């Protein structure tokens, strides 16, 4: 596994005059601000080829900060720093992480201080999707637990979860039928860190090594990670079999039909996928609680 090394780039002590502040005098008279920016980016192409076009320009970082600082007055330097960080991530695709510090050397406080400052850190978040399946034990409960565990991971937010789908085994190994679902969300974790999270959850919920495509307590696959492509011994993104599996496309199309993966829209890929009757069946809502798992009777 080779993970790109992120390069740090700094801009320090950028002095700008602006009119941000809570007090009327601050927005009328203005004052001096000092801005520091640090970014981390994959600049391997720039370094290998000595290519300025693949680097992150210090001047561009200064331009972004200047545009925010000299724009419409804001009350809080927290807001100022946050907008600079957000704009850096929006405009510079190579940047994965940014830290912005905005200092007020002449803050209007009745104390002897050398200055006041606010620092904001922000990491780029990527859209992700997971396919989850189980064909051993209490399948529905295991899938619910897996989604709950994903929801608790720092740096990962689960936004939507599909219904449950019953599906025939895939891959030619004789085994019990599966129950499947999909989940979508956003993450700041890098792809291999996210894979380690999935494998740890699988192990905690009872999965043990076995025959490839065989029976398992739970399986959690990453389907896509933004528009990133990964190809190595342990991870392929987008998922190599994504467009071959109805038990993936059916639940994914339920919650994210218009998402485009590798140039193909999910609903379009599902429409042309050859299927046999009974391969994948969506469970009808039955009023018994989440995913058909019966809720306990009230005390």
Domain ranges of the chain: 7-123, 126-286
CA neighbor of 100 nearest in space, from 75, 125, 117: 117
Intrachain domains 7-123 and 126-286 with the same fold: no
> At 203, is the secondary structure helix, strand, or coil?
helix
Answer yes or no: 199 catalytic. Answer: no
pLDDT attached to residue 238: 95
pLDDT attached to residue 115: 87
pLDDT attached to residue 298: 47
pLDDT attached to residue 275: 73
pLDDT attached to residue 26: 93
pLDDT means per 10 residues, the chain with 299 residues, are: 76 97 93 97 87 92 97 96 98 96 93 93 97 91 95 96 88 75 96 95 82 72 94 92 92 96 95 79 61 45
Answering whether pTM is above 0.85, one says: no
> Which of the following CATH numbers is that of domain 7-123: 3.30.1130.10, 3.40.50.720, 3.40.50.1820, 3.20.20.70?
3.30.1130.10
pLDDT attached to residue 94: 92
CA neighbor of 66 nearest in space, from 122, 16, 9, 120: 16
Q: What is the DSSP letter of 211?
A: S
CA neighbor of 247 nearest in space, from 206, 211, 219, 207: 219
Contact residues for 274 (Cβ-Cβ < 8 A; gap 6+): none
Distance CA 163, CA 166 (A): 10
Which of 91, 104, 199, 294 is labelled catalytic? 104
Share of the chain residues as helix, strand and coil, in percent rounded to the nearest 5: 30, 30, 40
Q: Does domain 126-286 have CATH number 3.30.70.560?
A: yes
């Amino acid at each position: 596994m080779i993970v790109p090394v992120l390069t740090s780039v700094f801009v320090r002590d950028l002095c700008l005059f602006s009119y941000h502040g809570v007090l009327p005098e601050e927005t009328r008279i203005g004052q001096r601000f000092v801005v520091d920016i640090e970014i981390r980016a994959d600049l391997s192409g720039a370094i290998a080829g000595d290519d300025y076009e693949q680097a992150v320009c210090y001047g561009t970082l200064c331009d972004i900060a200047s545009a925010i600082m000299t724009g419409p007055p804001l009350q809080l330097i927290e807001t100022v720093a946050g907008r600079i960080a957000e704009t850096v991530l929006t405009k510079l695709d190579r940047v994965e992480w940014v830290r912005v510090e905005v200092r007020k050397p002449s803050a209007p406080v009745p104390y002897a201080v050398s200055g006041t400052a606010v620092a904001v850190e922000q990491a780029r978040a990527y859209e992700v999707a997971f396919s989850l399946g189980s064909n051993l034990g209490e399948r529905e409960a295991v899938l619910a637990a897996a989604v709950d565990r994903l929801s608790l991971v720092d740096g990962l937010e689960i936004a939507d979860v599909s219904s449950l789908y019953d599906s025939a085994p895939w891959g030619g190994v004789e085994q019990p039928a599966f129950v499947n679902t999909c989940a979508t969300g956003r993450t700041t974790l890098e792809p291999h860190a996210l894979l380690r999270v999935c494998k740890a959850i699988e192990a905690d919920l009872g999965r043990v090594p076995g025959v490839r495509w065989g029976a398992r307590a739970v399986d959690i696959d990453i389907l896509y990670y933004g528009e990133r492509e990964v190809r190595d011994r342990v991870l392929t993104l987008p998922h190599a079999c994504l467009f071959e599996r109805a038990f993936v496309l059916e639940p994914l199309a339920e919650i994210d039909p218009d998402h485009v993966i590798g140039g193909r829209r999910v609903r379009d890929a599902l429409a042309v996928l050859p299927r046999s009757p009974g391969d994948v069946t969506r469970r009808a809502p039955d009023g018994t609680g989440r995913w058909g798992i019966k809720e306990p009777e009230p005390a």
